[in-house]
């Protein structure tokens, strides 16, 4: 198996952890980085695992959904009332969880099928690493 990595850095977005008993329960932002590890058994005609010039759809998804967004946990009991009254102040993105770990898994679930489709099942994603500012990170690797 061969792998390659691509990072998208300095992506500003906000999140909150509504169950947390500390300051993570408050809406706050970070500069995030997303590092994708791609894998294949056979490279393309150029010897690439994936052609970085042909994965612009991943950056487009990040720009559309995460850049300057505010991430809400889908079971956050306050999000609906907050968005009903102040929705004009947010670019909301709702997902199953807003931890680094949950964001990494969510991105994997969205991106891996796209990569498989775009490469005719030749390449896939083996790891999604999420960095929250420069000190904290988590990764999702499918079992
Ligand atoms: Zn945070």
Q: Report the separation in Å between the CA atom of 125 and the middle of ligand 1, taken as the mean of its atom positions.
A: 25
Q: Report the separation in Å between the CA atom of 24 and the middle of ligand 1, taken as the mean of its atom positions.
A: 6
Per-residue pLDDT of the chain (143 residues; tens, 9 = 90+): 999 999 999 999 999 999 999 999 999 999 999 999 999 999 999 999 999 999 999 999 999 999 999 999 999 999 999 999 999 999 999 999 999 999 999 999 999 999 999 999 999 999 999 999 999 999 999 98
How far is Cα 115 from Cα 118, in angstroms, rounded to an integer?
Answer: 5
* Structural domain boundaries, residue 32: 2-140
Q: What is the CATH number of the domain that holds 95?
A: 3.30.479.10
User: How many structural domains does the chain have?
Assistant: 1
How far is Cα 35 from Cα 52, in angstroms, rounded to an integer?
Answer: 13
Check: pTM over 0.85? Answer yes or no.
yes
Q: Which of 95, 63, 102, 99 is nearest to 79 (CA)?
A: 95
Scored b (16 or more CB within 10 A) or e, 29-61 reads ebebbbbbbbbbeeeeeeebbbeeeebeebeee
Strand partners, 30: 13
Q: Report the separation in Å between the CA atom of 28 and the middle of ligand 1, taken as the mean of its atom positions.
A: 6
């Amino acid at each position: 198996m061969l792998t390659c990595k691509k990072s998208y850095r300095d992506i500003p977005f906000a999140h909150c952890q509504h169950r947390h008993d500390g300051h993570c329960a408050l809406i706050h932002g970070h500069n995030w980085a997303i590092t994708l590890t791609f894998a294949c058994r056979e490279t393309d005609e150029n010897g690439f695992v994936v052609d970085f010039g042909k994965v612009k759809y991943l950056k487009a998804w990040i720009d559309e959904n995460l850049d300057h967004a505010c991430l809400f946990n889908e079971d956050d009991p306050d999000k609906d009332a907050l968005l009903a009254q102040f929705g004009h102040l947010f670019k909301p993105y709702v997902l199953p969880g807003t931890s680094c770990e949950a964001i990494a898994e969510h991105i994997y679930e969205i991106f891996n099928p796209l990569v498989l489709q775009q490469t005719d099942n030749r390449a896939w994603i083996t790891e999604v690493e999420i960095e929250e500012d420069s000190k904290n990170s988590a990764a999702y690797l499918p079992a």
